[in-house]
Amino acid sequence: MTAVSVLGGSGYVGGELLRLLLSHPACELQIISSQRYAGEPIYRIHPNLRGLTTIKFQEIDLEAVAAKTDVVFTALPHGKSVEIVPELLHRGLKVVDLTADFRLKVPSAYKEYYGFEHSHPDLLEKAAYGLPELHREEIKNSQLVAVPGCMATAAILSLGPIVSSSLVDTNKIVIDAKIGSSGAGVSPTIATHHSERSDCVRPYKVTGHRHIAEIEQELGSLAKGRVRVAFTPHAVNMVRGILTTTHTFPLRELSDRDIWRAYRSRYDQEPFIRMVSDRKGLYGLPNPKVTVGTNFCDIGFEIDSHAQRVIIFAALDNLTKGAAGQAVQCYNILTGLDERSGLNASGLHP
């Protein structure tokens, strides 16, 4: 058993992380922090966890965390982990960070996309980017894992094989993302209020979205050169889930077989990637509805010979494979466990 603590356990991602860790066969929860709800039982904020634990939220105490913990998950607001993670690493703990604070390799990108100067740029190169399908060996040998953003995960996983196979124009990639309301986090704003969010499809941050930095960083590494993406997200009327629809333009005439070969060569043995391009069945292409609560990323494609496009689809649960589930997958790798430990749940239907 590994002793685990969670810093920032009261948000949606923190709650999903606790749901997974409480049923994990090789994890013993120690400390769960929340400045706002210190002293309150977990179920007061996460009612689905009633009866599963008697642990209460407490304020962050790094001395106590270091004394009781082997691995720390940090699910704090962006810009907060960078203040705490260096101290945790100094004390010899392993850290799985679910914020954006260590995802990017170029320090100046934090000023451009997140509005702050990174105070520990030396840690950026040391941090493993927590996408197991691309960085499994780095995660295994790292002390710090930076879990990717949710929409970035869908975009990178769906584009990786065809970009690395040089099948499409890497300067002309257009990503349209749809995301559920939980992606906005637990703190309400007028824009996330139900009467404003319901019954609509609302584009937001239509240019310059912060996940562009991750997507271009990772796809550029696969392509061994510059990749440029146009990325626009949309808020849609569902609670959990992401669907990305990506328009790519092939460098030569492609067949279904060419594209299948690219995906199979990279993902054939991946436990949480499912290819969904089926002419039969209820859902012939990826649908986030059936990924809710799971760590799966479903990927599919269609060739548009009329407009010379390859359209790629990816669906996942933004709180699971897009955050907490991916963090647990990284934790499993980091601690030498079966990668699927605690993550074998199927989705619900209907």
Which sequence positions are flagged as catalytic? 150
Nearest partner of 153 among 80, 98, 71, 226, judged by Cα: 98
At residue 105's C-alpha, the angle toward residues 184 and 259, to 5°, is: 75
Whether the Cβ atoms of residue 313 and residue 243 lie closer than 8 Å to each other: yes
**Cα–Cα dist 302/310, whole Å:** 6
Nearest partner of 321 among 277, 290, 291, 287, judged by Cα: 291
Whether the Cβ atoms of residue 59 and residue 84 lie closer than 8 Å to each other: no
**Cα–Cα dist 315/46, whole Å:** 25
Which tokens sit at 34?
A: 């929340």
Query: What is the torsional sign of CA 95, 99, 105, 107?
Result: negative
Contacts of 174 (CB under 8 A, 6+ apart): 229, 230, 246, 247, 248
- Tokens 């209907």 sit at which residue? 350
Quickly list H helices, the chain. 12-22, 62-68, 81-90, 108-113, 122-126, 132-140, 150-164, 194-197, 211-223, 256-267, 325-334
Whether the Cβ atoms of residue 251 and residue 168 lie closer than 8 Å to each other: yes
One-letter amino acid of 160: G
First-to-last C-alpha distance (Å) of the chain: 36
**Inter-CA distances, 299 with 163, 165, 176, Å:** 15, 17, 15
